[in-house]
Amino acid sequence: MIYDYPQYYEVAFSFRDIPKEVAFMRQCIERYSQVEVRRVFEVACGFAPHAEELVSHGYTYCGLDNNRNMLDYAVAKWRHLTPRPKFIEGNMISFDTSIEMDFAFVMLGSLYLDGLKEMTSHFNAMARCLKQGSLYFLDWCVQFEDPLKYADNNAVTYERDGISVESRFNIRLVDESQRMYEEIWTLDVNDRGRRRKLQMVERNRAITPNDFLAFIRNRTDFEMVGWWKDWDLDQPITENAAVTRPIALLRRV
């Protein structure tokens, strides 16, 4: 599992503008949250790249992930922060934080749910942990374009602290009726002269806008606030257009 090598995973995603992403989440909170936000909760947090920025704005951070290597790396990386982030090892399908959260988010399409049963279980767990009036922020979890657009993507290379990582992503259709895909991610790593190749295959079910809306409308504990493109609240998505990294925002009711 590439997730077992968080230092390489971090380099592969070093292109992200974390302050910009946190600023956008804070805009959503200011405009749409009905509660004061103190505790934020990240689903599938990995090494928690947003933790430092969020803590710098006065939030208490908690992250959930099922990979122990990622969590150990996150604990060590962010142990200097005050308040110190809290991490929970668990599966997003069913979990209990034991603490009510004021805001939750999941990034880069990391909502891996294979069907209605798992999706229902996940949202039941989210309803248990979120306060009424709080927001659930989903980045790229709803597919507004054909996932096969990302088949055989060109390799991209990023470097940090003497580590070079060439990343290549591919995707293939497994079951069209269920919209099930296999995502193949390959990393070619040069770790200060030590070379290694890592590859991971994950199955994921594409969630369409119509299916997502129907799912939320059939629940009584979440409502749809809206969805946007280009990380801009002045650019709502008004139709099923091709949008990279669409943002969907829900509110706990």
pTM as predicted = 0.96
Sheet holding 247-252, edge to edge: 86-89, 60-65, 39-43, 101-106, 130-139, 247-252, 222-228
- Mean per-residue pLDDT, 70-86: 98
What mean pLDDT is reported for the chain? 96
Using one digit for the tens of pLDDT, what is the confidence trace for 173-226?
999 999 999 999 999 999 999 999 999 999 999 999 999 999 999 999 999 999
pLDDT number for residue 60 = 98
CA angle in degrees (0–180, nearest 5) for 139-143-145: 125
- Mean per-residue pLDDT, 75-98: 97
By mean pLDDT, which of 97-101, 146-150, 226-230 is the weakest? Answer: 146-150
In degrees and rounded to multiples of 5, residue 81 shows phi and psi of: -75, 150
The percentage of the chain sitting over the pLDDT mark of 90, rounded to a whole number, equals 93
Whether pLDDT at 240 is above 80: no
Q: How far apart are CA 131 and CA 127, in angstroms?
A: 8
Whether pLDDT at 73 is above 70: yes
pLDDT number for residue 138 = 98
pLDDT number for residue 153 = 78
pLDDT number for residue 193 = 97
Whether pLDDT at 25 is above 80: yes
Beta strand pairing call for 222-228 and 180-191: unpaired
Amino acid found at 176: E
Q: How far apart are CA 165 and CA 7, in angstroms?
A: 10
> With bands split at pLDDT 50, 70 and 90, how would you rate the model's confidence at 36?
very high
The percentage of the chain sitting over the pLDDT mark of 70, rounded to a whole number, equals 99
pLDDT number for residue 152 = 82
Using one digit for the tens of pLDDT, what is the confidence trace for 142-176?
999 999 988 887 899 999 999 999 999 999 999 99
pLDDT number for residue 88 = 97
Q: How far apart are CA 228 and CA 213, in angstroms?
A: 14
Domains present along the chain, CATH in parentheses: 2-144+207-252 (3.40.50.150), 147-205 (2.20.130)
> What is the number of other CB atoms lying within 10 angstroms of the CB of residue 147?
16
Query: Bridge-partner residues for 195, per DSSP?
Result: 190
Using one digit for the tens of pLDDT, what is the confidence trace for 51-61?
999 999 999 99
pLDDT number for residue 66 = 97
Burial of 145 (0-12, 13-18, 19+ CB in 10 A): middle
> With bands split at pLDDT 50, 70 and 90, how would you rate the model's confidence at 21?
very high
Whether pLDDT at 242 is above 80: no
